[in-house]
Structure 1
Amino acid sequence: MFGREYEYVRARRRSVAKGRELLNIDGQRRWRVNENGAAEGVFIPGRCIYAQNDAYLELANPGFGVQSMVTSLALLALLSCLFMVWIWYGLALHPLLFGRAFFLGWNEPYESAMLPLVIGGWTVMLFFVAGSVFFVYMMFVGLGARTAFFCPLRGRVRFNRKTRQVYVLRPGYCGGDKVFAWDRLEAVLKPFPARLEPKVVRYLQAQPLVLYHPPFNPDDAAAEGEDVIFIESATNAYYPEGIAGLWEYIRQYMEEGPSIDVIPPNAPASFKQVPRYLPPAYSTYCGMPSYAQCRLEMEVSFYLPLYMLLAQSTCSWPCFPKAWQSDSGIGEPEERPVQAGAVMTAMVYRVEGKLTKADEVEFMRLWGTAAGLNKAMK
């Protein structure tokens, strides 16, 4: 889902100042791509990297972890609204149209003695109906629950070292698909209004990493070209060191590229090298996940993955346009997960028998065991 993107676009439509105030763009330092970041070392977030290879690093936008909860609350609000409308119809409108009144299991021909029920239906119940409709409107439109349904399932942010471009997939009403020049981006590490910082710190509210694209002309009142990219920080609480470390990881990848095969055991906090091969724990599935995959990545069971699947049934998976050439010859994670470094996707494909024999060998060489590699070689 795209709650943060939706919130920003709505603020930006009101005014340029509102959009900047929402993320405190002008009230904090913004880190350029050629500056050493604020983090002591890099931070590799779990469950938010689609793929990483020598050409591109692709990450998810925030919102996947709360989509099931938002879906359950949205459905509860919608069902409550429909129930109120049904009661109002049975007590107020149905007697006038068909001469009968009903309420739940009660159904009788309308008589003059029932006039108080009709009056109550057109006054008290109509008030509750209006309140329910307004609540549903605020839930779906005001608070962004609409982004959980009938839109791309997740956002995709691809950092391409070869083209030095950043490719973003998101719904049109949340900013639309865009291509940004890497060198113009600036990192915002505290993406919330300054007045809310005590609340964020006190209640440990998890925050994403925000990359700010300034307007092409600083003196342009309309701020043409101004935009932001939200990137999942994969934290359950406010963790500013992790957000800064995530930015440093992305920056190091784009500026230096992978420089070591794997992260060494007991790496110090100041470790700043980017590994070529990420463990599965850092990867997320690239595609429409199954119920079992939802349970694995959400680390919960039963009802929340069910709500996630319900939302997914109305969504589609976003794909990068071929004209963008965003993969730089590597291939898409959905088509060539082993070559693209899409670890979680490759694991799922292997279980489903979708990998070729050559890809099976390469998968075991990079992420498997010696025994598994020998078995694949045979």
Structure 2
Amino acid sequence: MYLFEWMAWWGSTFDETQRDKDWLKSIEKRQASLKALLEEKQPPLDQAVSDVPRSRGPVYAFNDTVLEMHCGSLEHYRGLITPLALTLFLFAFGGVYGAIDLLLQGPNHNGIIDYLVGVIGVGGLTAGLWYCFFKFKFYIPIRWELFTHRRLLIRFNRKTRQVYLHRPKYTGGVVTMPWDKIIAIHEGAGMRLVLAWMPHRTGQPFVTFAAVGKRAGTAQDLLDEWEFIRRYMEDGPKSVPKPRVRSKIPWPWYSLEPQFEGLWPILRHGDWKLWLGKLLMSPAFLILGAGHWVSQLLCWEPRWPKIIREAGQPGKPTPKLTTAEDYDPETCRRLYLNADLWVPKDHDPDAPAKEEESGSQWLP
């Protein structure tokens, strides 16, 4: 499910009418934790954060040039939203049809007239419901997990010193980010390793996130994962244990992993009551796994653009870094409009004094 990625992109592309709403204030409050990153001193990329570099996967490519991994923040809920959304939509259809049926069962029953009224009424209301479904974008939750990319990918390229993210267009699309501007966020158990590119580092008016790998059982798992990526990029593939490269075929047992990832360290130190509780919950995990697998089957495998596939090879061009101007003019304008949601202008250390005062460093 790509809810987190969609919300991050949606929060970067508000228009003026949405910014005037009161609930935008609550969004600005949530940015406090992100803006706190500006004050934190990030360790240099040549500094180790763990003595045991290891990746818990999934890894899809590993060689002297690229490391490709799975990313995405709410993978364990994938396959849950679609049944809920379709159930609500079917209830709406059922309510409309039931109301029409009651109206047609009056005392003055006329078969032909009732038939015509029923056909026209049901057809019109059905068309109206479908119109509302697309007009008000009720299909968006379904697109988070159906008829979209089968997975989100992140590719680290040692030769170009770049990081590539492969995402659907409604979450920002494929982007190219600089390795040396990366920020690693390893909060703790139950979370994934989050990699971020903040505006105060990239000079762009938007933030880019990537939740890499599996959920962690302990905080140390996240440090080990980040150390694996860091050493690969800084010292090469020989400096880290060779990971198992996974096939991209959507086998059904792969869909059970997101439901159980991060549980083993908890179960290992838990008592029999915890084990019994998880055993009783196992049918729910199996149902979620089945929904995840169906979601995978109804999606397509993402494919990198040719310039990214060939990046780092002798004689091949290096992809340009993604900027706001790479998007269409309206999206570009909105990105600059909402730059203050991520980083206030007085936090930009590279802006000249005059630009710092006016905020013109965010103008296209």
Please tell me the TM-score bracket, short chain as reference: 0.5 to 0.7
Q: Deviations over 1:1-21 (max 9, x none)?
A: 323211211222347995894
Which of 209, 227, 236 is matched with 1:248 structurally? 227
Aligned length: 258
Aligned residue number for residue 344 of structure 1: none
For residues 217 and 208 of structure 1, the distance between their equivalents in structure 2, rounded to whole angstroms, comes to 20
Deviation at 1:33, TM superposition (A): 5.0
Deviation at 1:252, TM superposition (A): 1.3
Q: 1:33 to 1:288 in 2, by over 3 A?
A: farther
For residues 184 and 101 of structure 2, the distance between their equivalents in structure 1, rounded to whole angstroms, comes to 58
Deviation at 1:315, TM superposition (A): 1.2
Structural mapping, 1:175-186, within 5 Å: 175-186=172-183
Conservation of the 8 A alpha-carbon contact between 1:154 and 1:317: yes
For residues 241 and 305 of structure 1, the distance between their equivalents in structure 2, rounded to whole angstroms, comes to 27
Aligned residue number for residue 333 of structure 2: none
Let me know the Cα RMSD of the aligned residues: 3.8
Structural mapping, 1:137-286, within 5 Å: 141=140, 146-190=143-187, 205-214=190-199, 223-224=204-205, 226-237=206-217, 239-259=218-238, 273-275=239-241, 277-278=242-243, 280=244, 283-285=245-247
Conservation of the 8 A alpha-carbon contact between 1:291 and 1:309: yes
Secondary structure of 1:210's counterpart equals strand
Which of 290, 293, 300 is matched with 1:306 structurally? 290
Which of 14, 26, 51 is matched with 2:35 structurally? 26
Deviation at 1:57, TM superposition (A): 0.9
- Asked if 1:90 corresponds to 2:98, the answer is yes
Structural mapping, 1:31-42, within 5 Å: 31=42, 34-37=45-48, 39-42=49-52
Deviation at 1:55, TM superposition (A): 1.0
- Asked if 1:111 corresponds to 2:90, the answer is no
Secondary structure of 1:253's counterpart equals helix
Secondary structure of 1:187's counterpart equals strand
Deviation at 1:257, TM superposition (A): 0.9
Q: Give 5+ residue unaligned stretches, structure 1.
A: 101-108, 114-129, 191-200, 260-272, 331-378
Q: 1:156 to 1:94 in 2, by over 3 A?
A: same
For residues 30 and 139 of structure 1, the distance between their equivalents in structure 2, rounded to whole angstroms, comes to 42
Q: Give 5+ residue unaligned stretches, structure 2.
A: 110-128, 261-281, 315-364
Aligned residue number for residue 56 of structure 1: 66
Conservation of the 8 A alpha-carbon contact between 2:162 and 2:176: yes
Conservation of the 8 A alpha-carbon contact between 2:195 and 2:212: no
Could you list the structure 1 runs, at least 4 aligned residues long, displaced by more than 6 angstroms after superposition. Answer: 137-140
For residues 35 and 57 of structure 1, the distance between their equivalents in structure 2, rounded to whole angstroms, comes to 18
For residues 71 and 173 of structure 2, the distance between their equivalents in structure 1, rounded to whole angstroms, comes to 13
**Structure 1 residue identity aligned to 2:36:** G
Q: 1:312 to 1:70 in 2, by over 3 A?
A: closer
For residues 79 and 192 of structure 2, the distance between their equivalents in structure 1, rounded to whole angstroms, comes to 20
Q: 1:253 to 1:23 in 2, by over 3 A?
A: farther
- Asked if 1:319 corresponds to 2:329, the answer is no
Secondary structure of 1:150's counterpart equals coil
**Structure 2 residue identity aligned to 1:26:** K
Conservation of the 8 A alpha-carbon contact between 1:158 and 1:167: yes
Q: TM-score, normalised by structure 1?
A: 0.57
Which is worse superposed, 310-319 or 289-298?
289-298
Secondary structure of 1:27's counterpart equals helix
Q: TM-score, normalised by structure 2?
A: 0.59
